[in-house]
Structure 1
Amino acid sequence: MTYDSVKQHIWSNALSNYLRTFVGIIVGLVTFRLLYQALPQESFGFWSLLWSVFGYGILLDFGFGFAAQKRVAELSVTREWHKLSQVLSTILFFYLGVAVLMAATVALGADDIVRAFGVSPARHAEFRIVLIAFFAAIALAFPLGIFPEILRGQQRISTANNITTAAMLMRLAVIAWAVYAGWSLLAIMLTALFFALAPDLVSAFFALRHMPEVKLRPHLFSKSIMRETMGFSIFAYITTATNIVLGKTDQLVLGATLSIGAVAVYQAGAKVAEVFAQFTKQLQDTLSPAAAHLQASGEHSALRDLLQRGTRWSAIIATPLYVLCAFELEPLLRVLTGDKHIAAETWQVAQVLLLWFYSSALTHSVSKRIYMMTGHERRLMWMGLGEAAANLVLSISLALLFQNVVSVAVGSLIPSLFFGWFLLWPWVARDVRLGPWQLFRETVLPAWTACIPAALVLGAPLLFPGLQIENTWLRILLMGSAGGLTALLCLWYGSLAASERRTLRSRLPSPFKKNPPALQAA
């Protein structure tokens, strides 16, 4: 696979990432509303509690999912199918052992767990079965989850995304029918779990069909392969765990130093930043398997180009979204929280967190994904641990000193700025053989310059109060359209080269094409 074809995969995979994310947000919001209105309060609370646990399942991944993705990308290049069979069989059957242990543990302690949740006696038996079914599905998700990782390693992320997107839409349709028909909590939960696991099974068919030489057999389980794989996966696991710590530290600090009410203020301010993060990381998520493939192929110049181009495109995507969110933060908060009046502290927290995620999109998101796949996992782990420790110490210190929510958010922002701009950024600059300022000038500054007109458009109501629009939805629609279109036009003509415009235009529907669809690498 040539570098040009790798880049084409990146673009198609990124577009499918955005589609999956958009559909996921819509399906999540509609499902939430349906179940919130249909289920009794206790049942809905139990549903929400269980699915909140689902997100922490990654902590039991032990980094093997990332390792599977990396080894598929590498060994497919060298066509070492027997070794790849050993690697995947070892990970799969290790996960099966974890799944059995997990399911058995929850089944044996189900009664105590349900009682610990404070479930009423009348619903104890029903919720016990729901709990066991839920954790049995989580257990199955570990071995089955290896198959989407194989597709990612094959740089067929779009295939995995399309399967997941179709499953989400079908799940919404079935749950809507279940609500209409008055199904029980157990029946709705089993339906949701089926559509959560089905994409992994379908992914298995497509992943293995693409590698007929690879076999998954118990006798291929290898202790030596396990040790070899652990040499990478442990660093990936710790790095992933520190990312979770970075994302959850503030809530824990607020609960411990201030109050639960302070956590609510923080969560309200974090909503816009979380959505921003979702929409700015989709391109970057496609870079990991591409980097592993190029590393295995020995294409080091292509790797440097991927690192520089990835950083540039991250800035092009994130900067207009950041400008739009920063200027229209208050109406966005009103829409996401449902509050008519946004407290000053909530707005301040949201601005700090938005800047945190934006800076991370520029400095962390591309470099970490590429370096993790190219032999720098140990150094990334120590940097991640250092940032997490600095985040925790600074957040606690500022919370105790200033006794407000904003100080905790600032305690997370400062380490991110330091590790991003003073450690990661010079590292990237050295690897692409540029100075830090030259790298900034070539990757970030063009996006900043192109977004100045959009900032002026969005900032006009601050200078001319007569332009203020009171209706929240109308303001978001009009100001978002004006600022967004201005940013897109300026980025299109001011930041993109002619070849890049031709490449992007060739991927649009035919009415938008001006030139023949000869693809050129972006």
Structure 2
Amino acid sequence: MNYTEVKSRIWSNALSNYLRTFIGIVVGLITFRLLYQALPKESFGFWSLLWSVFGYGILLDFGFGFAAQKRVAELSVSRDWNKLSQVLSTILFFYLGIAAVLAGTVALGSHHIIRWFDVSPANHDEFRLALIVFFAAIGLAFPLGIFPEILRGQQRIRLANNITTLAMLMRLGVIAWAVHAGWSFMSIMLVALFFALAPDLVCALFALRHMPEVKLRLSLFSRSIMRETMAFSIFAYISTATNIVLGKTDQLVLGATLSVAAVALYQAGAKVAEVFAQFTKQLQDTLSPAAAHLHAIGDHAALRDLLQRGTRWSALIATPLYVLCAFQLEPLLRVLTGDAVIAQETFLVAQVLLFWFYTTTLTHSVSKRIYMMTGHERRLMWLGIGEAVANLAISITLVLIFRSVISVAVGSLIPTLIFGWFVLWPWMARDADMSSWRLIRQTLLPAWLACIPAALVLAAPHWLPALQTSNEWLQILAHGSVGGVVAALCVWRFALHPDERASLLARIPCCRRSSARQSRVLRASPTPEPSTLPELASGEASY
């Protein structure tokens, strides 16, 4: 594939990512509220703690999942199916060994783990069983998780998204019935785990069918392939581990220093920020296999262009959403939790984490994904370690001093600002052969300026009491919709280039048919207008 085909795949995969994410957000919000209202506070806190630990499961991934994605993208270019069979077989059976060790270790130490989290005696046995089953599922997630990575390496992210979306909808239906029927905490946990693992099995069928030459056999396990793969995966692993520390440590710090109930308070404030992060990272997730492919064919100019355009579009997508969420945060929290009054600490935690995810989107999300696939994994590893250590040290220090939930959130924000704007951003600017300020003007400033009118509209209820309402749904639908429309119109008119607007219109089915009819008329006309043809060409070539 050339760069034009790669860009087309990026857009197709990104749009499917956003569709999956939108459905996932709706499903997640409904599920969150169902469980928040139905489960006792300790059960909900334990549920949140376990699923935050689920993210830590990738610490036993050793970077091989990311390596599988990279090697599929690279070896598919050279069509070296024998080598790819060895690589994937080695990773798969290594994961099976990890799964067995993990499940056995947690089963043996489950009593001590439950006591460490200070679970009440009444819930000790049920939570212990849930813990064992949960970590057995994490173990299975390792070998099964290789198959969605294969689809991503094939740049067939859209297919993986469709499978995941169907599983999410089915999970919501079953959990809603379980809550209505009064199922136990353990039964609901089993439902959630089943629908977390089932999509990986379906992905396996499609991934291997697309590569019939690739075989997965224990006999193909190779120690030399293991060493070769680890030359990359160890750096990817440490970088990923540090990202987990950055994103998931807060809950563990709170559980260990304050209480499980503090985790529930933090989780309520963090949910809006997590939904924002899920929605804004979908374009970036498609860049990794594209960068690996371009690196494999040696197209360095395309990689630089991918870095700048990816950052620009990340800002164009994330900035309006950040402004909307920041000004509508309190009604969003009331809708999310069902609480009539939102605690001040919960609101402040939500604002800090929302800004944390926003600045991470601008400085970390694109650069790290592209640099990891293009030979900079060693440097990313050391940067990630520095940021994670600073995050952990500042968070623990602040929570021990102030004994508050918001201290942990501030402890996460500070290192991200330092490493993002003073390390990663200058690195991106040097690669783009421009100053840091010029890179900001080209990639971020258009989105910032375009969202000023929307910020003023959304802030109006704070200045004009007559516009305020106690109904959170009305506030979100009325004020939020107006602010969102203003943001969308200003970004469309003032932040996008003409060729970008033409390219986006061409991807809308009705506009695409109109464009096709116009093209046929132009081809049939003996004297087309000189100004029309270049505009169409520029639209077709735009990112």
TM-score scaled by length of structure 1: 0.89
Alpha-carbon separation, structure 1, partners of 2:251 and 2:487? 34
Letter in 1 for 2:164: T
* C-alpha contact (below 8 Å) 2:45/2:263 kept by paired residues: no
Residues 35 and 399 (structure 1), Cα distance of their counterparts in 2 relative to 1, 3 Å cut: closer
Report SS of the residue matched to 1:416. helix
Partner of 2:446: 446
Residues 188 and 422 (structure 1), Cα distance of their counterparts in 2 relative to 1, 3 Å cut: closer
Partner of 1:470: 470
Alpha-carbon separation, structure 2, partners of 1:119 and 1:299? 59
Q: Cα distance, 1:459 vs. partner?
A: 1.9
Partner of 1:212: 212
In the alignment, is residue 88 of structure 1 matched against residue 83 of structure 2?
no
Q: Cα distance, 1:342 vs. partner?
A: 3.4
Partner of 1:385: 385
In the alignment, is residue 171 of structure 1 matched against residue 171 of structure 2?
yes
Q: Cα distance, 1:328 vs. partner?
A: 2.0
In the alignment, is residue 370 of structure 1 matched against residue 370 of structure 2?
yes
Partner of 2:482: 482
Alpha-carbon separation, structure 2, partners of 1:375 and 1:273? 31
Partner of 1:25: 25
Report SS of the residue matched to 1:374. coil
In the alignment, is residue 515 of structure 1 matched against residue 512 of structure 2?
no
In the alignment, is residue 292 of structure 1 matched against residue 325 of structure 2?
no
Partner of 2:313: 313
Q: Cα distance, 1:276 vs. partner?
A: 1.5
Residues 41 and 365 (structure 1), Cα distance of their counterparts in 2 relative to 1, 3 Å cut: closer
Partner of 2:98: 98
Residues 408 and 288 (structure 1), Cα distance of their counterparts in 2 relative to 1, 3 Å cut: same
Q: Cα distance, 1:403 vs. partner?
A: 6.1
Report SS of the residue matched to 2:516. coil
Residue deviations 1:1-33 (CA, integer Å, cap 9, x gap): 111111111111112212222222333344456
* C-alpha contact (below 8 Å) 1:352/1:413 kept by paired residues: yes
Alpha-carbon separation, structure 2, partners of 1:110 and 1:239? 29
Partner of 1:56: 56
CA RMSD of superposed structures (Å): 3.2
Higher mean alpha-carbon deviation, 209-218 vs 510-519, is at 510-519
Letter in 2 for 1:75: L
Letter in 1 for 2:333: L
Higher mean alpha-carbon deviation, 274-283 vs 479-488, is at 274-283
Alpha-carbon separation, structure 1, partners of 2:100 and 2:267? 36
Partner of 1:145: 145
* C-alpha contact (below 8 Å) 2:25/2:275 kept by paired residues: no
Report SS of the residue matched to 2:286. helix
Q: Kindly report which structure 2 residues correspond to 1:221-300, keeping only aligned pairs within 5 A, or say none.
A: 221-251=221-251, 266-300=266-300
* C-alpha contact (below 8 Å) 1:8/1:521 kept by paired residues: no
* C-alpha contact (below 8 Å) 2:398/2:411 kept by paired residues: yes
Residues 265 and 105 (structure 1), Cα distance of their counterparts in 2 relative to 1, 3 Å cut: closer
Residues 474 and 513 (structure 1), Cα distance of their counterparts in 2 relative to 1, 3 Å cut: farther
Identity of aligned residues (%): 75
Alpha-carbon separation, structure 2, partners of 1:54 and 1:73? 27
Q: Cα distance, 1:189 vs. partner?
A: 5.1
Q: Cα distance, 1:175 vs. partner?
A: 4.5
* C-alpha contact (below 8 Å) 1:4/1:521 kept by paired residues: no
Letter in 2 for 1:386: G
Alpha-carbon separation, structure 2, partners of 1:346 and 1:183? 29
Letter in 1 for 2:137: A
Residue deviations 1:81-109 (CA, integer Å, cap 9, x gap): 11111111100111111223333445566
* C-alpha contact (below 8 Å) 2:236/2:381 kept by paired residues: yes
Higher mean alpha-carbon deviation, 139-148 vs 100-109, is at 100-109
Residues 141 and 335 (structure 1), Cα distance of their counterparts in 2 relative to 1, 3 Å cut: same
Q: Cα distance, 1:441 vs. partner?
A: 0.6
Q: Cα distance, 1:257 vs. partner?
A: 6.5
Letter in 2 for 1:65: G
